[in-house]
Amino acid sequence: MLSMEQTLLLVKPDGVRRNLVGEVLSRIERKGYVIANLKMVNVSTDLLGEHYAEHRDKPFFASLVRYMSTGSVVAAVIEGERVIEGVRSLSGSTEPTLAVPGTIRGDLGRDWGSGQIENIVHSSDSPESAEREIALWFPAD
Ligand code: IDP
Ligand code: MG
């Protein structure tokens, strides 16, 4: 049985600033996934706090929210069979210095020495996260 999924993809402020929106979306499309919804937003710290609720008690939380507030974010709903795993795989691991070449973070990201991990994209990590995050970023849909 087909189990079509949706996931939330964000191009973070560093990705937008570096003009990588097209590059990121192009990789998603070339993989065969469908962009089901798309917008550019200036995000409130309230929304970011909700989005990153699982990290609220981490030492990097304040810095993470600050980084995510440095500019516009592009939010997209991506659709396809096993797309949650697929977009995580395309994104690569969290630290861009170590992310495998061929992935978005591995090809396009690096460490900038700020202490904050800037890694171009976010993608949902489970069906539960995807449902929660899509409702948060696209509430009317
Ligand atoms: P993920 O984005 O690969 O799912 P998470 O562990 O969920 O990684 O962390 C969310 C985001 O928080 C990361 O993408 C990164 O921007 C930032 N982050 C994660 N760990 C650290 C850290 O140790 N220091 C600074 N920022 C971090
Ligand atoms: Mg995560």
Give the model confidence (pLDDT) of 109-118 as tens digits: 999 999 999 9
Give the model confidence (pLDDT) of 53-70 as tens digits: 999 999 999 999 999 999
Q: What's the gap in Å between 125 CA and the centre of ligand 1?
A: 12
Rounded CA separation 23/40 (Å): 15
Q: What's the gap in Å between 82 CA and the centre of ligand 1?
A: 23
The answer to whether 55 is a known catalytic residue is no
Residue type at 38 in one-letter notation: L
Closest-CA residue to 105 (of 114, 117, 116, 96): 96
Give the predicted TM-score (pTM) of the model. Answer: 0.97
Closest-CA residue to 123 (of 80, 97, 72, 86): 86
